[in-house]
Amino acid sequence: MPKFEECLQRLEKIVQELEKGEVPLERSLTLFEEGMQLSSACRKELEQAEGKVEILLKNNGKLQAEPFEPLNEKAQARR
């Protein structure tokens, strides 16, 4: 699977090509389909990265890493 940055660059090229409006319909559909697949791959990669995010907290002047917890999980844990 292509890396996130490669997906974004390819998506930008697809958008630019489609925005020109000079692409035949068949090619437009192929580009659109590829763009949707790339968009989905980027979204999945972002979701995976979000799960690994750590929030840095300032603790007595020192930065301390703590595991990232989505807001809805924190709210449920307090109940």
DSSP classification of residue 75: H
Which pTM was predicted?
0.59
- What one-character DSSP code corresponds to residue 2? -
What is the per-residue pLDDT for 57? 42
The pLDDT tens digits of the residues spanning 50-76 come to: 766 644 444 555 555 666 666 655 555
pLDDT of residue 26: 95
What are the two backbone dihedrals, phi and then psi, of residue 70, each rounded to the nearest 5 degrees?
Answer: -55, 150
pLDDT of residue 45: 87
Dump the DSSP string for 16-46: HHHHH--S-HHHHHHHHHHHHHHHHHHHHHH
pLDDT tens-digit readout, 9-43: 999 999 999 999 899 999 999 999 999 999 999 99
Distance CA 79, CA 72 (A): 11
The secondary structure of residue 60, as a DSSP letter, is: T
